Amino acid sequence: MQQIDPMPENSEPGGSFKSGFVAVIGRPNVGKSTLLNAILGQKIAAVSPKPQTTRKQQLGILTTDQAQIVFMDTPGMHISRHKLGDYMNKVAELALFDGELILWIVDVSVAPTEEDRLIAEKLSAFPRRPELLIVLNKIDLMSPDKLAQNQVLYQNLVPGSESIALSASLHKGIAELVQIIIEKLPVGDPYYDEEQVTDYYERDIAVELIREAVMRHLEEEVPHAVAVRLDTYEDRGEEQAYIMATLFVERDSQKGIVIGKQGSMIREIGKTARKEIEGMTGRNVYLELRVKVHKNWRNNPEALNLMGYIVPDN
């Protein structure tokens, strides 16, 4: 992993020190959260091979001796089929208003999709749009000739845009991207303490890691119909924690799939999530999961609010 030098303890921001917010957008499954984890050098965002792993905005904060970059990791912008999808798209669009810079992450190993073109249309029509940098991710999956060909296709979607090619999964090009971002940020003092890396608390990240485990173990539409509610998060000394969470699904048939034969699937989900949470906290974790049905929760505004998806006002 490429190392990003942290701010020295005796460093005082000011003068030429830079700071700013960077909106990280893109369609689902292009590697936004993988890129954020690679930049920060630690895992704060849930990642899975399935699309729409990220459902909420999460800040990732990188502080170096030159700057503080506040990344706004957003849900994948997509063609919505329910109110949860509407919420996710709204969260991503609102981030565009808050950034000094927009990072549009694309999967350059494939040609632009319909969702990529819809994002380009929004960016082109955006009033007083911040500066845009297209991040051509997943270069490890293609030849140099194909990269050059697809790079032209993406840049033609937003004429005059700048781009950088990298591989978030291989940590290739990360340091170069960070330096480009720093050069584009305004001079200013940091917004957050230099040791803070995210606005999420441990309990928030635990919820996302449980849902990541669900995404990894379940197939087809089932994982997308699962919401995680944290019921209990108890610190039991410095070395132990007790967590109880409820997994909500939309149908009885999905409940059976999530539980599995004689509880086999829910045990595997719990085992994977517990390992990730222990890696994050450095403590032993007792994790208890249960499954409940909340019919059609993805299209129910009240249910969305109860599960933490606070739909922004238009």
Average pLDDT over residues 12-39: 87
Single pTM value for the model: 0.76
Q: What pLDDT, in 10s, does the model give residues 16-28?
A: 999 999 999 999 8
Which among 283, 290, 231 has a CA at the least distance from the CA of 259?
290
pLDDT at 10: 39
The answer to whether residue 90 scores a pLDDT higher than 90 is no
Annotated domain spans of the chain? 18-184, 202-306
**pLDDT tens-digit profile of 195-250?**
888 877 788 888 889 988 998 898 877 878 899 999 999 988 788 999 999 999 99
14 pLDDT band, cuts 50/70/90, is very low
51 pLDDT higher than 80: no
* Residue 150 and residue 107 in contact, taking contact as beta carbons nearer than 8 Å: no
Q: What are residue 234's phi and psi, to 5 degrees?
A: -115, 130
CATH of domain 202-306: 3.30.300.20
Architecture of domain 18-184: 3-Layer(aba) Sandwich (3.40)
Query: Going by C-beta distance under 8 Å and a sequence separation of 6 or more, which residues neighbour residue 248?
Result: 226, 227, 228, 229, 291, 292, 293, 294, 297, 303, 307
**What pLDDT, on a 0 to 100 scale, did the predictor assign at position 254?**
94
